[in-house]
């Protein structure tokens, strides 16, 4: 059992928790993830590591309440326990040799992008960050990005905070003005990452995307997280849990990834409604 050391509500749908898991905290690096279960009958869900404190042995996770499991997790309070917390899993974000990087996060994906920006900042890289949200109420991690970035641009779809528009707007402006980067890293909704890749394509700047598809065991055995990459004219199957979650954005078949991500949408909404009703009755 893993104790919830701290809990903080970041916005109406996003919560931050720090879980006591010293073995994970000692090994986890930016870009890696864990898989947890809330209780012994619960489903396994992957969540990216949002930070570690090796002194008190805690691992920070940030999650959006979108399904039955995140609803159950959100009802847990400080001092309570969750059943399983396994990790670190996946391959850490590549940082070697990168001197100038652009980090682009969308929505709750900013929770994943934040520790990546912090790591590049720690290594002395020049960090430009672009973060986007639907509206001001959903803003998260702004202060952390300010501290880790040489330049920060905040976007909102409705113009209620920062600049009006999506994250590709300032990226396109920068590239058109001659700005260059060793690497662009984008983390967020699949459709957002697809358009970031298309924005960068004419400029031949490498783009890394962080994929978070359906996942069960996290060891490559179930095949649920498989992705199709287009490499040298051939379709290649990779698994996000062991080969990723980071991939070359120019190789990812985003349309297939989005289609697979919608496969269990109706089931997930039904499970979420059942969980909400259960808590209401309680």
Region 57-71 average pLDDT = 91
Angle at 178 (CA atoms; ends 176, 180), nearest 5 degrees: 110
pLDDT tops 70 at residue 262: no
Q: How many angstroms separate the CA atoms of 12 and 111, rounded?
A: 15
* pLDDT tens column, 82-135: 999 998 999 999 999 999 999 999 998 998 899 999 999 999 999 999 999 999
DSSP-assigned letter for residue 62: E
Rg (the chain; Cα; Å)? 18
Q: Are 181 and 102 in contact (CB under 8 A)?
A: yes
Sign of torsion, CA 185 97 250 171? positive
**Contacts of 146 by beta carbon, 8 Å cutoff, 6+ apart:** 152
Region 20-37 average pLDDT = 93
Looking at every residue in the chain, the average pLDDT score rounds to: 90
* pLDDT tens column, 144-162: 999 999 999 999 999 999 9
């Amino acid at each position: 059992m893993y104790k919830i050391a701290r809990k903080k509500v970041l916005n109406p749908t996003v919560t931050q928790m720090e879980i006591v898991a010293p073995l994970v905290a000692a090994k986890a690096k930016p870009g890696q993830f864990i898989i947890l279960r809330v209780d012994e009958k619960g489903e396994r869900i992957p969540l990216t590591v949002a930070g570690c404190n090796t002194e008190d042995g805690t691992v920070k996770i940030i999650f959006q309440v979108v399904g039955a499991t995140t609803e159950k997790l959100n009802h847990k309070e400080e001092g309570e326990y969750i059943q399983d917390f396994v990790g670190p899993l996946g391959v850490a974000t590549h940082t070697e040799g990168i001197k100038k990087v652009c980090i682009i996060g969308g929505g709750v994906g900013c929770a994943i992008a934040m520790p990546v920006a912090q790591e590049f900042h720690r290594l002395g890289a020049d960090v430009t960050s672009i973060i986007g949200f639907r509206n001001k109420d959903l803003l998260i991690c702004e202060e952390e990005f300010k501290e880790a970035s040489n330049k920060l641009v905040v976007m909102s779809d409705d113009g209620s905070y920062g600049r009006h528009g999506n994250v590709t707007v300032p990226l396109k402006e920068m590239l058109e003005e001659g700005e260059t980067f060793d690497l662009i890293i984008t983390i967020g909704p699949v459709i957002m990452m697809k358009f970031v890749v298309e924005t960068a394509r004419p400029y031949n700047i490498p783009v890394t995307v962080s994929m978070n598809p359906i996942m069960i065991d996290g060891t490559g055995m179930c095949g649920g997280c498989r992705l199709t990459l287009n490499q040298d004219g051939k379709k290649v199957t990779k698994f996000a849990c062991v080969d990723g979650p980071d991939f070359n954005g120019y190789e990812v078949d985003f349309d297939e990834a989005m289609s697979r991500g919608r496969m269990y949408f109706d089931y997930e909404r039904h499970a979420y409604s059942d969980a909400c009703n259960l808590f209401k009755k309680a």
